Every structure is written in structure tokens, then in C-alpha cells.
Amino acid sequence: MSETTSDIGDGRAAPAFARREIWGVLAMSLGPVLAAFVLSGLILLLMQVNPFSYYGYVFGRGLFSPTGVQATLTRMGPLLLLAASLIVAFRAGIWNLGGDAQFLVGAVFAAAWTPLMVAHVPVWGALLAGMAVSAGFGALWGLVPAFLRAYQGLNEIITTLMMNFLGLSLASVLVKLVFLDPATTVPQTRTLPVEDRLPTLGGTTISSGLLIGLVAVLAVHFVMTRTAFGLRLRVVGANAGAAVHAGLAVPALTVAVFAISAGFAGLSGGVAILGQYGNVRADWNPAYAMSVVPLVFLARFNGFAAIGFVALFSILSIGSESAARRMGVPNYFTLVTVAILLIVLGLAEYWGARRRQKAGV
């Protein structure tokens, strides 16, 4: 990835240059967004739907209605934690595509133990322990591909994809056989009472998972861009051979990256359960991680940009869910929009590189 190499040295850029850089980044990010909306609007026209009224409705529901915006902000929490997870991994050159399983394993263990703990310890203690459990089991699930990559050189794309299938099945086996709520006939875990869940933000229904997610993304961004540890990870990601020559312990760093990344993914599952859902039903898989992968790419692994894209995606997905019922456009349409966005972004990057090459920079 050219991004990871190019921003290793720009930590202390001159202010004027930095300002021009910010405008450039904004133009490079917002231009493709606009182009993608125009292109998907054309598809809506083909489906004989007025794009202005469709997007008007989607943004009206997802952003400008009180219930909609609260749902959007609540959904952002787990998505932001996944963004943090992916930024760490991708910046370190590790393609962790197993976020969905890490998310679910974390969610299932948090859902299994928190309702039991709540009866014996103070609520805040149970919630903290539940989050620690989810992060711990998420990280544990990430350790297998970590060791295979670090010590046996196995490509992590294949192992994380496999751990994904394995984890999805394991999660539903655990829900159906081990952590089953004896009080219900539906296969699901015990439900955490609403009053024992993560506190909501001042008088709204927004889960405080949002704050946890924001803190995580910003912390990850800071660590990756401003600390020696982050620099080490980026060197490993940019050129593992050079990292070995520089005396970095590449295998240990690889394992650390996996543990952090999978831990955030597990925590994301925990926050989704403890803040919003309260239990895990059998075969539940929101596949958030696969939706966040393109968003993190769109953000070019930048934490601030990731917050923006996660917000946009949450608005679109909440809005399109109600638009599906009202306007007859299925919410798969969001998938098409995101795909177009990715391709347009790739093209913008290509043209940008061509222009720089021609200018001889």
C-alpha cells in the first residue's frame, strides 16, 4: 500500500503544507463520495425511483429524525471499534479479514457471562468484566492466524477467512448447546436486563458504546501516527524485510498486532451486546466487519476519516432500512453504493498518482 509508506515521514510537516495536504485529502475523499452518489442515483433512475426523493428520505430518516439519528449513533459504536481493529491491522500490513468471527466470539462470551455476573457484583463491575471477556476471547480467536503468520509464514488472508467460517459455526453451536437460556424455547443466550446495560448518553437512547468507539479510533490513530510503537508497526507493514534488518522483532510484533486488532473486534461484539442487543440469538451475524473493511480503505487508514465514513455508512444503512419498507428499494442498494464508492476512490487515486508522475514530483 502506497499510503502506509508515504505517511511514515510526514509526522512533522510544515503547517502550510499540512493545510494544503488536508484540503487535498478532503477533495480526494469527498470527490469520490459525490461521484458515487451521482452514479448510484443513475441506477435509481433506471429502477424508476426518483434519486432525490430516495436520498432525501434516507438522510431524513437516518440523520434528521430524532429516533433515526439515535439509532445511527448507536450503530456507530461497534462499527467504530471494528474500524479501530482494522486500522491497526492494515497499517501494519496484516490483512485481518476475520473480524466477523472475532466480533461474534467476543459477543457470545460477553452475552453468556455478563447476565450471570450481574446478579453477584455491581453493574459497572459486571459490564467492565463483560467487555474484558469479549476483548479477551476476540483476541484469543485472532491468535491462531497470528502464530501461523508469525512463525510459519502462512498467509493470513486464508487463515482469517477460515477462522471466520469456523467462528460463525462455533458461535451458533455455543448459543444452541452451551449458553442456552433455559427459560426460553428460542435458541438464544440469557438476556441482560435493559437497566443493566451500558448507560445511555444523557436522556437519549444513544448507547455509550459510541463514546467507547470514538475513543478507540482516536487512540489507535494517535498510537499509529505519533508513537514509536506505531512507527514500528508501520515499518513492518511497509517492508517486513527492512524491519528485520532494522532489528525489529517482526514475529512478536505480528502477534501483538493480531491480538490488538482481534481484541478490538471482540470488544465491538461485547459493546453491541452490552449496549444494544442484550443477548445473542442462534445464527445471528450482522457481518459488520465485512462492511467496515471498505470504509477503512475509503478512509485510507486515517482515524478521523474513518469516523466520517462510518457515520455516513450508518446513516445510509439505518435510512435505507426504512426506505426499503417505504419506497420499495431493497436495502441491498447500500451495497451497490459502497461498491461504486470504492471503485471511484480507486480511480481517483490512480489519476492522482498519474498527475503527480506527470508533474515530476
Instruction: Pick between residue 19 and residue 176 the one whose CB is nearest to other proteins.
Output: 176
* Nearest approach, Cβ of residue 226 and other proteins (Å): 26
* Nearest approach, Cβ of residue 307 and other proteins (Å): 20
* Nearest approach, Cβ of residue 283 and other proteins (Å): 8
Instruction: Pick between residue 149 and residue 234 the one whose CB is nearest to other proteins.
Output: 149
Q: Which residues contribute to the site for other proteins (CB under 8 A)?
A: 1, 43, 47, 95, 144, 147-148, 152-155, 157-159, 161-166, 169-170, 172-173, 176-177, 290, 293-294, 297, 330, 332-340, 342-343, 346-347, 349-350
Instruction: Pick between residue 228 and residue 361 the one whose CB is nearest to other proteins.
Output: 361
* Nearest approach, Cβ of residue 42 and other proteins (Å): 13
* Nearest approach, Cβ of residue 254 and other proteins (Å): 15
* Nearest approach, Cβ of residue 171 and other proteins (Å): 9
Q: What is the 3-state secondary structure (H, E, C) of the chain?
A: CHHHHHCCCHHHCCHHHHHHHHHHHHHHHHHHHHHHHHHHHHHHHHCCCCHHHHHHHHHHHHCCCHHHHHHHHHHHHHHHHHHHHHHHHHHCCCCCCCHHHHHHHHHHHHHHHHHHHHCCCCHHHHHHHHHHHHHHHHHHHHHHHHHHHHHHCCCHHHHHHHHHHHHHHHHHHHHHHHCECCCCCCCEECCCCHHHCCCECCCCCCECHHHHHHHHHHHHHHHHHHCHHHHHHHHHHHCHHHHHHCCCCHHHHHHHHHHHHHHHHHHHHHHHHHHHHCCCECCCCCCHHHHHHHHHHHCCCCHHHHHHHHHHHHHHHHHHHHHHHHHCCCCCHHHHHHHHHHHHHHHHHHHHHHHHHHHCC
Instruction: Pick between residue 206 and residue 293 the one whose CB is nearest to other proteins.
Output: 293
Instruction: Pick between residue 57 and residue 90 the one whose CB is nearest to other proteins.
Output: 90
Instruction: Pick between residue 150 and residue 307 the one whose CB is nearest to other proteins.
Output: 150
